[in-house]
């Protein structure tokens, strides 16, 4: 039986089972984002990783995911979304096995790149498959489950990571956080092969491979020296590479304009690139998204390497943030598309206040840390993040014409991931530079890690304060435009 097309055909009877498979795969991808932070100190110790290599364990995945979202989303339209989804889940499963079996930090980073690309293969297809499979009257209920799974993933990730590492399954340390994906991924591929409706591709569509190369190389050229510059003493080539990256991004813009004038497909819709409202919104999304991934990287290092917390204790300490995200997801769902600007202002204010409070707690640490100190500020910041992303995406997409809504949503998700990669690189620079200076000055581990973390948290405080100011630049929030369906974007804590 063919899937529902939204044109009066009967809904596919397998749609709810298919949705369960999509949710499992999406959950596996989302939980991987949060579970890794808990394992970073163990990887650093067991694999003898340098500071920049630890940054790359996080940044490589986020960066590959960002670069793959748009081209793989288009490729799904060409070859068929179900086929691309199953290929993505299979590749993610294989890459997870490579991560868990990596004997060196270099192989782990390479496997994380593959894992990021695989995540980008399956993620754009998930909502697209659900949109086509479900009739309009059921889509709201179906999409609400994606928000719920994202919230549960953010809560479960740190705790599950701590449990798996502390259990030392078969004598392993950090490896099970990746290997646990293997049986889940195999189950999703086999079940998906039989139960997810086949959605035909459109072979006449084309991908913009020159645009892919220019965008990808430009972003990598900017992020790579930010991560590695400190290791090499900030040589001239690092600044030259950043400048080259900016030039390539400029060429990407010109190439997209040329493709649009010739009536050819673009990687990033040129109408969006020349829209001041959309590009302003994309900038705000990038700044907003840059705050969180790096924060949990340094907090996990503080707790485990600086104060000898176990991975499970570290994960539980971070859990209030994820609980806040989950609470905010339920709150935001009740508001729908109303009070968007007010919600973004409140979200940025909560994040600025919560992380600022956490900064002063850590700055005042002496020889001990009580995990209860982290609960109020992290809970407040988590509520802010949960409120912020949903309202921010809807505010930006509200100015996008209906015909470009899908491209706009995909582009914003790419900017979100680019922001995450930049945030990891910048926060890592602040943290590891100050940590090295503290040890060189003779500071003990408690003081060295606490001071470096407190300083790094200023990045988040300033970033969200900037978002708070920029939020007033958006037009006042009214109701969602008639006929527009804005899908919730998974929040990655």
Domain ranges within the chain, ordered by starting residue: 7-142+149-205, 208-266, 275-493
12-21, 56-65, 304-313, 328-337: lowest mean pLDDT where?
A: 328-337
Cα distance between residue 465 and residue 350, in whole Å: 10
Q: Each residue of 183-202: pLDDT tens digit? A: 999 999 999 998 888 878 77
Helix (H, G, I), strand (E, B) or coil at 158: helix
Give the pLDDT score at 465.
96
Give the pLDDT score at 489.
47
Q: Each residue of 214-261: pLDDT tens digit? A: 999 999 999 889 888 887 888 999 999 999 999 999 999 999 999 999
Q: Each residue of 406-457: pLDDT tens digit? A: 677 778 888 888 888 888 889 999 999 999 999 999 888 899 999 999 999 9
62-76, 207-221, 249-263: lowest mean pLDDT where?
A: 62-76
Q: Which CATH number is correct for 7-142+149-205, 1.20.1250.20, 3.30.70.360, 3.10.310.30, 3.30.2270.10?
A: 1.20.1250.20
84-93, 269-278, 372-381: lowest mean pLDDT where?
A: 269-278
CB-neighbour burial class of residue 27 (10 A; exposed 0-12, middle 13-18, buried 19+): buried
Q: Each residue of 4-46: pLDDT tens digit? A: 444 456 777 778 888 889 888 888 888 887 788 888 999 988 9
Give the pLDDT score at 402.
66
**Mean pLDDT for the chain overall:** 86
In whole angstroms, how large is the CA radius of gyration of the chain? 22
Give the pLDDT score at 484.
44
Give the pLDDT score at 476.
62
Give the pLDDT score at 93.
96
Cα distance between residue 394 and residue 335, in whole Å: 12
Give the pLDDT score at 403.
62
Cα distance between residue 87 and residue 145, in whole Å: 23
CATH superfamily, region 275-493: MFS general substrate transporter like domains (1.20.1250.20)
Cα distance between residue 264 and residue 332, in whole Å: 38
Under DSSP, the state recorded for 303 is: I
pTM of the model: 0.85
Could you tell me if 336 and 360 are in contact, meaning their C-beta atoms sit under 8 angstroms apart? no
Sign of CA dihedral 164, 324, 376, 469: positive
Give the pLDDT score at 140.
67
Averaged pLDDT for residues 126-139:
78
Could you tell me if 299 and 457 are in contact, meaning their C-beta atoms sit under 8 angstroms apart? no
Sorted by sequence, the CB contacts under 8 Å of residue 407 that are 6+ apart come out as 268, 269, 272
Tell me if 7-142+149-205 shares its fold with 275-493.
yes
Averaged pLDDT for residues 46-52:
89
């Amino acid at each position: 039986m063919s899937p529902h097309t939204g044109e009066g055909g009967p809904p596919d009877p397998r749609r709810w089972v298919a949705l369960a498979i999509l949710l499992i795969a999406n959950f596996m991808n989302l939980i991987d984002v949060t579970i890794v932070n808990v394992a970073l100190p163990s990887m650093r110790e067991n694999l003898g990783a340098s500071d920049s290599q630890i940054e790359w364990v996080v940044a490589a995945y986020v960066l590959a995911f960002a670069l793959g979202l748009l081209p793989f989303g288009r490729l799904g339209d060409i070859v068929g979304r179900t086929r691309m989804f199953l290929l993505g889940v299979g590749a993610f499963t294989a890459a997870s096995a490579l991560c868990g079996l990596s004997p060196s930090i270099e192989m782990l980073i390479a496997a994380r790149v593959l894992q990021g690309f695989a995540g980008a293969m399956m993620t754009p297809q998930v909502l697209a498959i659900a949109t086509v499979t479900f009739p309009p009257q059921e889509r709201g209920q179906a999409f609400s489950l994606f928000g719920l799974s994202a919230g549960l993933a953010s809560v479960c990730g740190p705790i599950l990571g701590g449990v798996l590492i502390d259990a030392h399954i078969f004598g392993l340390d950090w490896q099970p956080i990746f290997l646990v994906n293997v049986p889940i991924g195999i189950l999703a591929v086999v079940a998906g092969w039989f139960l997810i409706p086949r959605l035909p591709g459109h072979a006449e569509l084309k991908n913009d491979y020159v645009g892919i190369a220019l965008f990808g190389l430009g972003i990598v050229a900017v992020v790579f020296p930010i991560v590695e510059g400190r290791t090499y003493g900030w040589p001239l080539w690092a600044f030259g590479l950043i400048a080259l990256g900016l030039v390539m991004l400029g060429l990407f813009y010109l190439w997209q304009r040329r493709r649009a004038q010739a009536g050819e497909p673009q990687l990033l819709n040129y109408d969006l690139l020349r829209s001041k409202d959309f590009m302003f919104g994309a900038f705000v999304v990038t700044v907003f998204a840059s705050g969180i991934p790096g924060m949990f990287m340094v907090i996990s290092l503080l707790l485990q390497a600086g104060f000898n917390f176990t991975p499970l204790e570290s994960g539980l300490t971070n859990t209030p943030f994820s609980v806040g995200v989950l609470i905010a997801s339920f709150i935001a769902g009740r508001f729908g598309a109303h009070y968007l600007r007010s919600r973004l202002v409140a979200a940025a204010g909560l994040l600025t206040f919560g992380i600022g409070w956490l900064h002063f707690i850590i700055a005042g640490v002496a020889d001990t840390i009580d995990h209860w100190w982290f609960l109020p500020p992290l809970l407040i910041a988590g509520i802010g993040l949960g409120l912020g992303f949903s309202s921010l995406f809807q505010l930006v997409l509200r100015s996008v014409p209906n015909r470009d809504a899908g491209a706009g949503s995909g582009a914003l998700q790419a900017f979100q991931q680019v922001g995450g990669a930049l945030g990891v690189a910048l926060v890592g620079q602040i943290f590891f530079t100050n940590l090295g200076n503290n040890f060189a000055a003779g500071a003990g581990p408690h003081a060295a890690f606490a001071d470096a973390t407190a300083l790094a948290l200023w990045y988040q405080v300033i970033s969200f304060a900037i978002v708070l100011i920029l939020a007033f630049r958006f037009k006042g929030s009214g109701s969602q435009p008639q006929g527009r369906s804005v899908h919730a974007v998974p929040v990655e804590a």
